[in-house]
Amino acid sequence: MSLVRRSSNVACGDLLMEKRPDILAIAAKYGANNLRVFGSVAHGNADELSDIDFLVVMEPGRSLLDLGGLQAELEALLRCRVDVVTEKGLKTRMRKRVLGEAVPI
């Protein structure tokens, strides 16, 4: 799968709202909940080259395979680079900032 640049006139926020039901369905399939975005998308300054940073909470018993599957399906749906991190996976030095700026989708 090749990732394409988003058109500069399609804002990330608009794309997320348009695809929200699909995003939530994919997340549920992989045991992810409490989906939030952070980084440039949350700040409203993402451009066509920006990736989308998701913060999630995984159900107990889920593995890195679930996290990887979630990331791959979100990239296919949104046709851009996606990073998915868990609250538990946040590095201490980034934790406060990320949790403070994370916006629910």
Whether residue 66 lies inside any domain: the answer is yes
Task: Say if 29 falls within a structural domain.
Answer: yes
- The domain of 58 spans 12-104
Is there a domain that residue 6 lies in? no
Domains contained in the chain, number: 1
User: Amino acid identity of 2?
Assistant: S
- β-sheet bridge partners, residue 55: 36, 85
> What is the model's pLDDT at position 7?
43
CATH code at position 63: 3.30.460.10
86 located within any domain: yes
Q: What does the angle CA 41 – CA 45 – CA 47 come to, to the nearest 5 degrees?
A: 85
> Is position 2 within any domain?
no
The reply to whether 49 falls in a domain is yes
Per-chain mean pLDDT for the chain: 88
Instruction: For residue 82, name the pLDDT band (cuts at 50, 70, 90).
Output: very high
pLDDT at 8: 43
pLDDT tens digits, residue range 9-60? 356 777 898 999 999 999 999 999 999 999 998 888 888 788 999 999 999 9
Cβ-contact 82, 52 below 8 angstroms:
yes
